Chains A and B, each alone.
Chain A
Amino acid sequence: MKRISFKTNFILTVIFVIGSGFMLLWASNSLGDYWARIITLMAIYGIMATSYTLVNGVTGIFSLGHAGFIAVGAYTAALLTLPIQQKAMSFFITPLIWPLNSIQMGFLPATIIAGCVAAFAAFLVGYPSLRVTGDYFAIATLAFAEIIRIVIQNSYSVTNGSLGLKGIPPYTTIWWAWGWLLVTLIVLGSFKFSSYGRALRAMSEDTVAARAMGIDVFKHQLMSFVVSGFFAGIGGALYAHWLTTIDPRPTSLGIMLTFFVLIMIVVGGLGSLSGAVLGAVFFAFSAQWLRIVESPMNFFGLTIPGIPGMSMLIFAVVFILIMLFWRRGIMGRDELSWQYIYNHFSKRVGDQD
């Protein structure tokens, strides 16, 4: 097996990134607004999924609280970028509290602050929850995410309660979303392929052995949880400015979103960052594409009326099939690297000999 050198790897990656940049440029110019929005959503989902797979896949602790941090990020960024007049208009039940009602800032600082606030929320949730493991941890985080949602729903003076926030400026373009995805991948990739990443992967396999090898399991789990929360917040900020209106229903920023992201990372391969991106792209694309089946159609002279929810049904069947025949997801635990492609390619060639 030949090893691809660092230099080749680096050059190929740079070429790949620039190539994808041109692809996105082409897509944003000639595919039309609808698909441009879907491609943006792919990157937003990608950020959510990669940050989620850091906890659930790489670190091996099963959290169900991701949507909570996404919601925190979404609300923080939205409250920071909303125009002041819009805030005065939206908050007609209870006016917005002081510092927030008089500030409006650019998208980039708002996104970064959203990430930091979400990271802090992750710290607050993770610190008590990480004392339990396994299913108990999943339930604890699920409960915390629900607490975050209920708090958002009821604090009218900050979040406008169940009325939600409207008129958020649509700042999220293809470039913001894919740019942030690139940043996320670089940071999380660098994290995963460092000594810390090795420690996280070791913990995911055997916490007792990891502890005996000198790894402070609690500290590292918390660290991974907070980093994941930061990028979940970034994803939430982008998502809010993509949706332009957010509210605390369970179907928008609640438990449903956690399960969507969970589907992405399981399909992509738990523990693989590139797999998470592939899963997100697959999910965003097929969720839109499957809308075809919800419209009335003519099938060999048979007229089928549009059935709402049909796409979800087909989705479910597809995922069951994937889990049956492709249990480890698209990538398993591997990363889609040049080495990976080279190995597969050379194996294929070797088989023919």
Chain B
Amino acid sequence: MAIQVKEREHQDVETEQLMSGCEAIAEAIRLADVDVMAAYPIRPYDGVMQAAAKLIANGKMDVEYIVADGEHSQFEIVKHACAVGSRVFVGSSGVGWFYAFEAIAVTAGLRLPVVAICGNRALDDPGAFGTEHNDSLAVRDLGWLLPWAETAQEAMDLALMAWRVGEDKRVSLPVAIGLDGAFLTHSQQIVRIPTQAAVNTFLPRFDLGDRLLHPDNPITIAPQVDQDWLMEIRMQNDQAMRKAHDVVSEAHADFKKLFGRGGDSPFLDEYMTDDAEYVVFGQGTLALPMKVAIRRLRKEGHKVGLVRLKWFRPFPTQEIVKSLSRFKAVGIIDRDYSFGSPHYGGVLYNEVRSALYSQEKRPTIVGFIAGLGGREIEQPMATEIFEKTKAAASDIKSGDTCHWIGVRS
């Protein structure tokens, strides 16, 4: 159901403001007229709740704002508020995300379009606040849509997309936006804030239809089905996730028409790839230091580029195949780990390799684990990643290796 919009009619009245990724999400909450949100403190995601609480205190938005007694309650509260027809927002980070895991799992099973952010943070122990993607990635098999933002602007834009896509009746799945802790949650950038009118055009009112829990619509939700119906229900979730691909594309097209942002592809952001021979592939804020490295290496004559993944779920298999088949070698940078996995690689590494398996023409895919615990990806590390990627190009089997970058001996 594409929306009829005049191209870029609202752009002139957008305002610009310096804000962090968390504050940008809070603005999206205001613009989306969220009904219920539930908060519980854990760094770094909680900057969103702090910013949103200020907006409520200053009368900028009307949201039922509940400070919960823990993450399990936080996610249960919004799940139930969503079931009676509320547009909801929630979030967490690291081990807090894991404390809510049961509620996170059932929310996807129930097909309730809860929108969350996961302020990506290393999982304790040992204690660490810095970014790692294993918290978000832990829900990758459950039926949550998982977009990842690079900038504060993209964080806001993806949040507006999240309600639009998640609440679409063809999808009806929860969405968790990945925001790299500190690098994005707490770094300030200039953000263009859309007008309320434009957002209202983009984002229709949430309507659960005949799934609304209300005395006038007597239904039962989440009964025991056992082996009698579970496979059919799982398959419905699978179909919803398949449909989500096109719904994301549709929303992206409308978003671009209305706001003029979002890039060429809803799923991939390519940087200097037109004539590139060797590219790196990753998600989130690691794109920033890699872009700096690319500009530097290009001056030295190296044909290098970057492909950044914007939606990890649904995984844009066809887009990735089409894009990466053009290159001689691809270095996958995982800001995560998957101990004991094939070739001891990261999550992204193995997913991308799996996507390319049946292709006749495929590049060498080599894995890198970098930036764990929020460690900066510095320029010498970026150079090393490109050098190792280039060296791997001649032998596809050399990709059966995963390099840890910047580890002290």
- Chain A complexes with chain B: no
